[in-house]
Amino acid sequence: MCHPQKSPISSAKIVFGLKRTKFGLKRTNASSFLYITFVPLNVTLLNMDRKQILLNVQDVFRTELDAKNLQIEETTSIFDIEEWDSLAHILICNALEKEFNIHLSSHEILACDSVSSLIDAIIQKL
């Protein structure tokens, strides 16, 4: 049974007979509440084309690599930018996940070795 909390878009309250204790969940006679948060869809992101995504990716690269004048293209690879090392790659992917409100698996992160592959992964998740 779902009861909307304050904002029906952002969360819902589910009633069930479990109580959280310091040892885990315990079945009870009284109803307990579980709050589930729903992330609202960002319609702007859904309507982005490849060029707009590239501009956002470039901003992330500039921020994470601390290179304000960095210019990237879809053909830019991990071998073209000296600062784009393994640690920077993780930071860039993490920032892209936040920027586009997506989750990249570890396999997807490892497979992305160019800006083009990053954009492809983002588009698949939007």
Q: At residue 9, does pLDDT exceed 50?
A: no
Helix 86-100 to helix 50-64 angle (10° resolution) is 130
Higher pLDDT: 48 or 4? It is 48
What does the alpha-carbon distance between residue 118 and residue 116 come to, in Å, rounded to a whole number? 5
pLDDT in tens, 21-71: 656 555 655 555 555 555 454 545 556 789 999 999 999 999 999 999 999
Q: Are residues 14 and 55 in the same domain?
A: no
Considering its fold, how many domains does the chain have in total? 2
Q: What is the DSSP string of 25-70?
A: EEEEEEEEEEEEEPPPP-HHHHT--HHHHHHHHHHHHHHHTT-TT-
CATH number of the domain to which 94 belongs: 1.10.1200.10
Is 71 in the same domain as 26? no
> Cα–Cα distance between 106 and 69 in angstroms, integer?
29
| Same domain flag for 14 and 75 | no
Q: Which domain holds residue 96?
A: 43-125
Q: Is there a single domain that holds both residue 58 and residue 106?
A: yes
- 3-class state of residue 80 by DSSP: coil
